[in-house]
């Protein structure tokens, strides 16, 4: 059984950075959430929902689209097969392919919070929730990248995620107006908003543990699905 190798992970990270830095279309998506954050921040009328609409946009455009583009580009160039046949394990490949997206997501989310002047009541609790959310969105990006054939196709496939996860208040309105859609309230973006509202009201970690748990379940499930699709592709190849 092969042991986990940070050297192989680092090699994947460096390769991804070089590849994505040459794709200006994908690279430019890093700045879109920051531009939006700057615009909203200057309005001076930020609510929790507004802050998290901006943050969710960052999660989707960076965590999900950026990640999907990394994998879709590998497929487009026919280099994913080489990665599958390399000594790297599935865990190393997923960790390596996700690391750049995680770093980029963390920087964009932190930058967006600074530009919108969002100062959570409990930084530690919100940070844990944001990290859990990042893992989910990156997993979703991995799945989209694996089921699409090119960066352009991934760009189209990510649009439903942009709509579903960026406009939390609209989805909440739909769920509350139609009881049959109440399950939508368990979406990770809505759980994150609910957690943030609780934190602003002085709730501690134990009071939001269920929200964090739901987000983590989403993250685990999406990564398991992505791993299954990846291994199935390895067998088909």
Give the domain ranges of the chain.
Answer: 6-236
The rounded distance, in Å, linking the Cα atoms of 122 and 208 is 11
Cβ contacts of residue 17 below 8 Å, gap of 6+? 100
Asked whether the beta carbons of 188 and 221 are under 8 A apart, the reply is: no
The rounded distance, in Å, linking the Cα atoms of 148 and 199 is 38
Asked whether the beta carbons of 101 and 141 are under 8 A apart, the reply is: yes
- Tens digits of per-residue pLDDT, 69-125? 888 888 887 777 777 777 778 788 888 888 999 999 999 999 999 999 999 989 999
More confident residue, 125 or 230: 125
Mean pLDDT of 138-162: 91
The per-residue pLDDT for 201 is 92
The rounded distance, in Å, linking the Cα atoms of 147 and 177 is 34
Quick one: DSSP state of residue 60?
I
- Quickly count: other Cβ atoms within 10 Å of residue 104's Cβ: 22
219: confidence class by pLDDT, cuts 50, 70, 90: very high
Asked whether the beta carbons of 58 and 18 are under 8 A apart, the reply is: no
Buried b / exposed e along 15-45 (16+ C-beta atoms within 10 A): bbeebbeeeeebeebbeebbebbbebbeeee
**Range picked from 16-20, 125-129, 185-189 for highest mean pLDDT:** 125-129
The rounded distance, in Å, linking the Cα atoms of 131 and 39 is 25
* Nearest Cα residue to 64 out of 28, 105, 10, 114: 105
How much is the mean pLDDT over the chain? 87
């Amino acid at each position: 059984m092969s042991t986990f190798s940070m050297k192989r992970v680092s090699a994947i990270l460096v390769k991804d950075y070089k590849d994505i830095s040459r794709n200006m279309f994908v690279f430019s998506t890093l700045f879109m959430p920051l531009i939006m954050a700057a615009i909203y921040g200057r309005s001076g009328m930020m609510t929790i929902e507004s802050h998290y609409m901006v943050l969710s946009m960052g999660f989707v455009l960076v965590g999900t689209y950026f990640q999907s583009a990394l994998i879709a580009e590998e497929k487009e160039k026919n280099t994913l097969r080489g990665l599958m046949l390399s000594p790297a394990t599935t865990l190393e490949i997923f960790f390596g392919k996700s690391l750049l997206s995680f770093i980029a997501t963390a920087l964009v989310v932190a930058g967006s919070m600074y530009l919108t002047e969002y100062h959570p009541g409990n930084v530690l609790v919100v940070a844990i929730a944001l990290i859990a959310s990042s893992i989910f969105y990156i997993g979703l990006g991995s799945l989209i990248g694996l089921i699409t054939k090119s960066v352009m196709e991934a760009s189209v496939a990510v649009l439903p995620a942009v709509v579903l996860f960026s406009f939390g208040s609209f989805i909440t309105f739909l769920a509350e107006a139609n009881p049959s859609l109440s399950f939508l309230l368990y979406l990770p973006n809505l759980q994150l908003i609910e957690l943030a509202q609780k934190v602003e009201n002085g709730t501690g970690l134990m009071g939001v543990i269920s929200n964090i748990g739901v987000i983590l379940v989403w993250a685990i499930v999406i990564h398991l699905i992505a791993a299954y699709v990846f291994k199935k592709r390895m067998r088909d190849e």
